[in-house]
Amino acid sequence: MYMWKSMHQYHETQNSIVEQVRGLINRSGKGESTSELHRQATRDLESAVSSWHSSFSSLIKFQRDFIHSVHAWFKLTLLPVCQEDAANHHKEPLDAYAFCDEWKLALDRIPDTVASEAIKSFINVVHVISAKQADEHKIKKRTESASKELEKKASSVRNLERKYYQSYSMVGVGLPESGPDNQHMLDARDPLSDKKSELAVCQRRVEEEMVKYSKAIEVTRAMTLNNLQTGLPGVFQSLTSFSALFMESLQTVCTRSYSIK
């Protein structure tokens, strides 16, 4: 009982703290991207909550298994003996059996499914956040890859331009006129026009990827805050209520035990 009393007090404090999360506002203008440290922290959180769910389920199961075993032992050993013993020897075992039976019923009636599902639901919340961070990272990689490709193409075009225009100077031939009236002629005569077109396409692709990446950062940050605001308080509300019910049930059972002599 004292363990559950302490757990109830801790969960009340935790519930009070996470309620403050509801008031958080994303005030940042241009958000920072999700770092590897952030992604690892999210994965660690998912693992920790999964372990929490497993430990919670095991704790309830082991406590029930224990009292069921004790109850079965009473039923198989003490009761037959009590029925055969004299009347003045059977009151204490029967009182102990009644106490054990009440303890067993109390544990069986505890609605642990709600608390267990609340933790399980939060695992899914964290998993969704982790998946969204992974999507953002993929877009970041695509943007970086496109930027590297653009730089590579731009460098290639610059090198070709130097060689091409240098060859004009070496033979004493003037460059094609680049005025507005001769722009079409320049494009037709410029052997680098295809390369420059490819460069322009690559430039547009980089710009598009950068827009997608910026949007992905905003979505990840907004979704992370929203999911934590809606998911985390529910977990501790359920656990606070559950631990209170568990504590009250055991307290009632323990009160009966005080009358056993």
CA–CA dist 55, 66 (Å, integer): 16
At 160, is the pLDDT very low, low, confident or very high (cuts 50, 70, 90)?
Answer: confident
Q: What is the signed CA dihedral for 76, 79, 84, 89, rounded to 10 degrees?
A: 140
| pTM: predicted TM-score of the whole model, two decimal places | 0.75
Instruction: State the DSSP code for 78.
Output: I
Q: What is the signed CA dihedral for 220, 221, 227, 229, rounded to 10 degrees?
A: 180
Other beta carbons less than 10 A from residue 96's beta carbon: 15
Select the more confidently predicted residue: 252 or 204.
204
CB 202 within 8 A of CB 146: yes
Average pLDDT of the residues in 116-124: 95
Q: For 2-6+34-257, CATH number? A: 1.20.1270
Of the listed ranges 52-66, 95-109, 111-125, the one predicted with least confidence: 95-109
pLDDT tens digits, one per residue of 76-92: 887 555 555 545 555 55
CA–CA dist 236, 213 (Å, integer): 34
Residue 6 has pLDDT above 70, yes or no: yes
pLDDT tens digits, one per residue of 43-75: 999 999 999 999 999 999 999 999 999 989 888
Tokens of 230: 């809606």
Distance of CA 21 to CAs 18, 221, 226, 231, 251, Å?
A: 5, 14, 10, 10, 33
Segments making up each domain of the chain, as ranges: 2-6+34-257
